[in-house]
A and B are shown apart, each in its own frame.
Chain A
Amino acid sequence: MKSAVIVFPASNCDRDAHDAILHVTGTKPHMVWHGDSEVPDVDLIVLPGGFSYGDYLRCGAMAAHSHIMGDVRRKAEQGVAVLGICNGFQTLTEAHLLPGALMRNAGLKFVCREVELVVDESQSAFTRKYSRGERLRFPVAHGEGNFFASDDVLDRLEGEGRVAFRYGEGDNPNGSARNIAGILNEKRNVLGLMPHPERACDPLLGSVSGRAMFQSLLESLS
C-alpha cells in the first residue's frame, strides 16, 4: 500500500499518522507539504489532525483551499482513498468532499479524552476489519467537532449506509447530530472522522482499536 500524509502549517498529528501507518502496515508514507502541487501516486491520502493555519476563519477553511488540495480533490474523484482525521475531517467538509459542517462543541469546551465509538458501517475500505455494532475506544481532542447537517442530508447518510461511526449512547462529546462521529462520501472512498484512530494503535497509548482501520486499508488497497 502506497500512502501520503499531507502536512499543513500547524498540523500536529501528521507524525502520529505516519507512525501508525508504518507500524501497522509496514509501509512508509510520503510526507507531502501543503504548498506542493502534486501528491505522489498513492492508494491512500491522509489529512491529519491539528490546527491547520491556526484555525483562522473556520477550522479547515484555509487548508481546504491550500495548493495541494487541488490534487487531493482530483485523486479523490479518481477513487483514491482519502482519510481525514479531526482537522482533516473539518478540511474535507470545507472542501465539500464530505457533506455537513463541524461546529463549535455544544458544551463550548475543548474535549480531550477517550470516547466509546460504535461501528455503524463495516462495508468500506476503511472499516472492513470491524464488524457492525463493534464498540471501540478512540481518543478525541477537539473544540469544533459538533457535526451538523440538514435533516435531509442526515437521512440520506443513514439511508445509504454512510455513517461509519457513532459515539456510544451517552458518550457524545460535542453535541453531534445523531451521535455521528464519522461519515463516508457517496463513492465510499473518502472517510472523515473526529476521533483519532492513529492515536489508538499502540497499547502504551491506552487503546489498539485504531489498528483495524489501517489493517482494513492495507487489505483493501494492496
Chain B
Amino acid sequence: MKARVFVTLKSGVLDPQGKAIGHALDNLGFRAVGEVRQGKIIDIELAEPNREKAAAAVKSMCEKLLANTVIEKYEIELK
C-alpha cells in the first residue's frame, strides 16, 4: 500500500511563501492568478495490506510528526 500525504497551512494562517510565488507568477504575466498557497507532499510506502489499518496508521503519523496541527492541516490519499 502507498500513502500520499498533503500537508498545507490552515486557512487563515499567513503563507508568505505562497504570496511570494503569487507575485512571481504575476511578474511572469499570469494575470489570472489569485491567492496562492503552498505545501508539501510526503509519499510513504506501507507494509500494511489492510486499508483501514493503513489509514489509521498514516493519520497517527500525521498527528505525531508529519503535520504541525497548530498551523497545518493534512489530507491522506491511499493507493
- Interface of A with B (CB < 8 Å)? 57-58, 61, 65, 93-94, 99-101, 103-108, 148-149, 175
Q: Is the CB of B13 within 8 A of A148?
A: yes
A65 vs B66: C-alpha distance when bound (angstroms): 12
Residue of B16, B17, B68 touching A58 (CB-CB under 8 A): B68
Q: Is the CB of A103 within 8 A of B20?
A: no
* Besides the known contacts A58-B68, A101-B70, A149-B70, 6 further A-B residue pairs in the complex with CB atoms under 8 A apart: A57-B65, A61-B65, A65-B64, A100-B70, A103-B14, A175-B14
Q: Kindly list chain A residues whose C-beta atoms are within 8 Å of the C-beta of B13.
A: 103, 148
Query: How far does the Cβ of A212 sit from chain B's closest Cβ, in whole Å?
Result: 31
A175 vs B16: C-alpha distance when bound (angstroms): 10
Q: Is the CB of B70 within 8 A of A61?
A: no
A100 vs B71: C-alpha distance when bound (angstroms): 8
- Interface of B with A (CB < 8 Å)? 13-14, 16-17, 20, 64-66, 68, 70-71
Of A94, A148, A175, the most chain B CB neighbours within 10 A belong to A148
Query: How far does the Cβ of B11 sit from chain A's closest Cβ, in whole Å?
Result: 13
Q: Kindly list chain A residues whose C-beta atoms are within 8 Å of the C-beta of B64.
A: 65
Q: Is the CB of A106 within 8 A of B71?
A: no
A93 vs B2: C-alpha distance when bound (angstroms): 30
Q: A57-B66, A61-B65 are in contact. Are A101 and B17 (CB under 8 A)?
A: no
Q: Is the CB of B70 within 8 A of A148?
A: yes
Q: Is the CB of B71 within 8 A of A101?
A: yes
In the complex, residue of chain B having the shortest beta-carbon distance to the beta carbon of A107: B16
In the complex, residue of chain B having the shortest beta-carbon distance to the beta carbon of A148: B71
A57 vs B44: C-alpha distance when bound (angstroms): 14
Q: Is the CB of B70 within 8 A of A108?
A: no
Q: Kindly list chain B residues whose C-beta atoms are within 8 Å of the C-beta of A57.
A: 65-66
Closest 9 CB pairs of A and B: A101-B70, A101-B71, A108-B16, A101-B68, A106-B16, A58-B68, A104-B16, A148-B71, A108-B20
Q: Is the CB of B14 within 8 A of A61?
A: no
Query: How far does the Cβ of B70 sit from chain A's closest Cβ, in whole Å?
Result: 4
Of A94, A100, A103, the most chain B CB neighbours within 10 A belong to A103
Q: Is the CB of A106 within 8 A of B14?
A: yes
- 5 A-B interface contacts by CB (under 8 A): A58-B68, A61-B68, A93-B70, A94-B68, A148-B13
Q: Kindly list chain B residues whose C-beta atoms are within 8 Å of the C-beta of A94.
A: 68
Q: Is the CB of A104 within 8 A of B17?
A: yes
Q: Kindly list chain B residues whose C-beta atoms are within 8 Å of the C-beta of A175.
A: 14, 16
A108 vs B71: C-alpha distance when bound (angstroms): 17
Q: Is the CB of B17 within 8 A of A108?
A: yes
Q: Kindly list chain A residues whose C-beta atoms are within 8 Å of the C-beta of B71.
A: 101, 103, 148
In the complex, residue of chain A having the shortest beta-carbon distance to the beta carbon of B40: A57
Query: How far does the Cβ of A22 sit from chain B's closest Cβ, in whole Å?
Result: 34
A84 vs B66: C-alpha distance when bound (angstroms): 22
